[in-house]
Amino acid sequence: MSEQVDPSEPRILVRTDGGLGRLTLNRPRAINALDLDMIRDLSGALDAWEHDSDVEIVVLDGAGERGMCAGGDVRDLYDQIVAGDSEATGGFFRAEYALDARIAEYPKPVVALADGITMGGGIGLAGHAAIRIVTERSKLAMPETRIGFTPDVGGTWLLAHAPGRLGEYLALTGATMDAADAVYAGLADHLVPSESLDALRDAFATRADPSSPTELVLLFDETPAPSGLAAARAWIDDAFSADTVAGIVDRLRARPEAEASATAHVLGELSPTSLAVTLAAVRRARALPGLRAALAQEYGLVLWFATSQPDLVEGIRAQVVDKDRAPRWRPATIADVAPDAAASALSYVPPIPLWE
C-alpha cells in the first residue's frame, strides 16, 4: 500500500472544543488504516483525557470522505510475517486490543462516527464505543476470511451476540452491512445523516440542552430503512446453524433462495482453514464472560495464523500485494481441513500473554 504522506501532518488529530475531546484518524488516502503509532497516539490521548475535567465526551472519527477506518495496515502485517518478526506482530495486536478494551471501558462516553467504510480494525475502534453512529454512507464488515484470517479486535464478541445466526454468517462471509444492517445486527446504535455530523459534533462541544450524549444524538438520528439482514434471517439461521462449514454449505445449496446459493459460492472461494477456525471462534465467544476474554481468545488465534498458517500471507499477497485475486489456499478445500484444526487453533498459547 503506497501512500504519499506529509511528514509534518500527524496521523491522529487530537483536539478539544468546549467539553468535547475529538480524535480524528488522519490517513485519508489509506482510508485511515491503523498502524502502531496511530494506536499509541489514540491510547495516549485517552490516557490524558481520563482525568481532565474539561473533557466530558470523546468523539472518534476519520478524515476524508471515504471512511472512518478500513482496518489495520495488512501490508505491514505481511512484511512482518515474511520477515519472521513475530515479536513485532504480537506487539501490534497487543497494543491494538488494549486500545479496543480501553474504549469499551473508558469512564467517559466515547462516541464513534462510523461514517463510510469501517471494517476490521475500524470495527475494533467503533464497535466498542458507548455510542456508535452510522450514516447513509456507512459500510461495515469483518472481512478477515477474505485474506485467510479470522475476525479479531473483539469482532467475535460483537458477532456472537448478533441476532440468530447472523454472527456466523457475517464472520464467515465477511459480508458488508449498510447502516440498517449494522443497527439490526447490534454493531451500531443510531443512524445520523452525514450532513448532520458537523452539527452533532458542535452540539457535543457546546453541551446544548438536553445535555446527555444520547439525548443529543436523538436530536439528529433517523429511523433506518428495513434491514436486508432481517429479511434474510430465515435462510441464514437455517444454514448457519449447521455444525460444520461443510454442513453450512450443504444447507445453503439446498435452499431455494438465490442469495443462499450465492453465499455457498462465496464460501467456496475463501480459505477453508479460516472458515473452520472462525466458525468455532464465534460460537465459543458466545460462552465467554466478556470482551477481554474474547480479545484474549482472538490474540491466540491471530498469532496461530501468523506463525503457523500459510493462508494469511497468501491471502494478503493475493488481495493487497500482487492483487491477482487468486489465492492458493492450503488446504484447498473444506473437505481437506484437518478435523482438529479449529481445536488446535483455539488451544494455541501465545508466547507472550495479551494482558501483561
Say whether 340 is catalytic. Answer: no
Contacts (Cβ under 8 Å, ≥6 apart) of 259:
232, 235
Q: 35, 61, 100, 144: which one is catalytic?
A: 144
Q: 121, 122, 148, 174: which one is catalytic?
A: 121
Give the orientation angle of helix 74-82 with respect to helix 86-105, to 10 degrees: 150
Which amino acid does the sequence have at 6?
A: D
Contacts (Cβ under 8 Å, ≥6 apart) of 334:
245, 246, 249, 267, 268, 272, 275, 276
Q: 152, 181, 189, 298: which one is catalytic?
A: 152
- 141 forms beta bridges with 119
- The 10 Å Cβ neighbour count of residue 55 is 20
Cα dihedral sign, 277-278-283-285: positive
Task: Tell me whether residue 75 is exposed, middle or buried, using C-beta atoms within 10 angstroms of its C-beta: 0 to 12, 13 to 18, 19 or more.
Answer: middle
Say whether 19 is catalytic. Answer: no
Say whether 72 is catalytic. Answer: yes
Say whether 144 is catalytic. Answer: yes
Catalytic residues: 72, 121, 144, 152
